[in-house]
Structure 1
Amino acid sequence: MAEDRDPVAAWQAVLRAQNRALRAIEQDLQDRKLIPLSWYDVLLELNAAPDRQLRMQDLAARVVLSRTRVSRLVSELERAGYLERVPDPDDGRATLARITPEGRAARRAAAPVYLAGIEQHFSRHLTAAQQDAIAKGLQRVVDAHEVDPRR
C-alpha cells in the first residue's frame, strides 16, 4: 500500500519551526537587553566576511532580507555606531557595509545568548541524525537555487 504523504508538510514544518525558534531567540536577546536578532544576523555576516565588509546586495543575499529591509537595518546599525558605510574601491557606484569595533563587541555580547537559544529552542528537540538530515536536505534546496538566484 502506498504511503499517503502530504506534499507541503515539510514546507509548513520548516516555516513554523523557524518562526517559533526565531521568536523565542529574539525574546531571549530582548530579555537580556541585547541587540535584536536582525541586527545580530547582519553583524554576524559582516564579521565573517573578508575585511569584515560586504556590498549591500551581498549582505541582503546572506541575511535573506529584501534590499529595502537591509538598507533600513544598515541605517539603524550605522546610527547605533555598529557599522559604517564606505565606498567600494572596486566600484565607485557601490557602497560597502563594514562592521565597527563597537559592532563586533555588540555581536560578541549577544553570541552566547544566540547560541544557547539555538540549542534550547531548536537543537535539543532533534536527534543528531535528524539535525544531520535537515542540514543535508535543506542544503540541497539552497544549492539548487545558487545556480540561478532569480528563482
Structure 2
Amino acid sequence: MTDDENNLGTCPVDRGLMRVGDRWSILILRDIERGLTRYDQMRTSLGIAPNILARRLSALAEAGLIEKRRYSSRPPRDEYLLTEAGRDFLPILAAIGAWGAKYNGTGALTRQIDVETGKAIRPVVVDANTGAPIGSRPLEFEYPG
C-alpha cells in the first residue's frame, strides 16, 4: 500500500478522487468514451502537453480505469480503452456534465443523446434502495469504529 493509500482514511470521496485524479484525467475518460482512444486523437482534442497526457494515461491505467492495447506493431501504437471501473465512472461523468451545463453553461453545449429515443439524456443520481434522487432527502454520515 502506498503512502497516499494509507492517508486516504475512510472517506470514499477522497479515495475516488485519488483514482480519477484531476480535470485532465476526467477529460481523458470523456474522450475515450467518445471513441477517441488513441494518443494523438486525445492530444488534438484536449490541446494537452504530451508529457501531461502521458502521465495522466499512465496514472489512469495504474488506477485500473483504462487499459492500454496495442493496435499496431509497426510502428508500435497503442490505444486506450475503458475498463469496468472506467465504464462505471461514466454515470458520474454524465452527472458532472449535467451540473456544469446547469450552473456554468452558456451558448451551445454538447449533449449526450440516447440512440434509441433520439432525445438528450437527463442524468440523475439516485439511491438504488429508495429510488430517491440524491440531494432530495437528508443524509447523515456513519463513520467506522
TM bracket, shorter-chain basis? 0.5 to 0.7
- 1:37 lines up with 2:23 in the alignment: yes
Q: Equivalent residue of 1:89, what SS?
A: strand
The equivalent position to 1:59 in structure 2, one of 25, 42, 51, is 42
- 1:119 lines up with 2:102 in the alignment: yes
Is the 8 Å Cα contact of residues 57 and 67 (structure 1) preserved in structure 2? no
Which residue of the partner structure matches residue 84 of structure 1?
67
Residues 63-114 of structure 1 show CA distances to partners (whole Å, capped at 9, x for unaligned) of 2212211111101101110101111237441111111121111132232123
Percent identical among aligned pairs is 16
**Alpha-carbon distance in 1 for matches of 2:28, 2:73:** 22
Residues 17-40 of structure 1 show CA distances to partners (whole Å, capped at 9, x for unaligned) of xxxxxxxxxxxxx89x65433222
Give the superposition deviation at 1:46.
Answer: 0.6
Which residue of the partner structure matches residue 68 of structure 1?
51
**Residue 57 and residue 120 in structure 1: after superposition, are their counterparts in 2 closer, same or farther (change >3 A)?**
same
**Alpha-carbon distance in 1 for matches of 2:91, 2:46:** 18
Unpaired runs of 5+ in structure 1?
Answer: 1-29, 124-130, 136-151
Letter in 1 for 2:37: L
Which residue of the partner structure matches residue 106 of structure 1?
89
The equivalent position to 2:79 in structure 1, one of 92, 96, 101, is 96
The count of residues paired between Structure 1 and Structure 2 equals 94
Indicate the structure with greater helix content. 1
Letter in 1 for 2:27: D
Is the 8 Å Cα contact of residues 30 and 93 (structure 2) preserved in structure 1? no
Q: Equivalent residue of 2:89, what SS?
A: helix
User: Which runs of structure 1 show a deviation greater than 4 angstroms over 4 or more consecutive aligned residues?
Assistant: none
The equivalent position to 1:47 in structure 2, one of 7, 18, 33, is 33
